[in-house]
Amino acid sequence: MKTTKTLAQISNSKGFQLSEILVSWPYYTEETVILAYSEIKRRGIQINEEIEKLVTAFSEAQGKPISQLESELFESKNVANYQEYFNSLPKYSETMNEESKKLEKLRREQAFQREVFEKKQANKDVLYGGLWFVGGLAVTLVSVASGKGGFIAYGAVIFGGIQFFKGLMKS
C-alpha cells in the first residue's frame, strides 16, 4: 500500500522530508511524489544529480515526463500550476488552529484514560495490600498462638501495609 500525503502535509514538510519522498518514490502515490517535486521547485531548493536520477526513474515508471505528469495533475485539480494549487490552501494559522483543537481533545482524552487507569491501580493496591497485610498478620498470630514461638511473617505484613497505604494515598 502506497503512502499518500496531502498538499498541506507536503507544504509544511521540511526540505529533507521532501527529498525523502523522492528517494522512496515507489512507496508513495504518484500525486504525493509530484507534489513533493513541485514543492521543492517552489522553494527553490537545488535538485542534485542523485535526486534528478530518481525523478527520471519515477517519470519513466509512469511513462511520461515529469512536466506532463505535473500538468495533468494540476489540470485535474482545476488549477493552472503548483503555485495556484498551493495558494488554494487554507492559511497556515487556520490549519494549525484545527490541528491544535484536535490535539487538545486527544490530550484531554489521554489524561482521562490515565486518570481512570491510575484509579483502578490504586484500588488494586488497596485490595491486594490489605490482603497481604491481613494474611501476614493472620499467619503470624496463628503461628505465635500455637505456643512454640512461631513463624513471624513480617515481610508480608510490611509489604502489604506499604501497598495498602500507597493505594489509599493515590485514590
| Domain parsing of the chain, residue ranges | 7-87, 109-170
pLDDT digits (tens, 9 = 90+) for 110-131: 999 999 999 999 999 999 999 9
SS (H, E, C) the chain: CCECCCHHHHHCCCHHHHHHHHHCHHHECHHHHHHHHHHHHHHCCCCCHHHHHHHHHHHHHHCCCHHHHHHHHHHHCCCCCHHHHHHCCCCHHHHHHHHHHHHHHHHHHHHHHHHHHHHHHHHHHHHHHHHHHHHHHHHHHHHHHCCCCCCCCHHHHHHHHHHHHHHHHHC
**Prediction pTM value:** 0.52
Task: Report the pLDDT averaged over residues 92-97.
Answer: 54
Residue 94 has pLDDT above 70, yes or no: no
Average pLDDT, the chain: 87
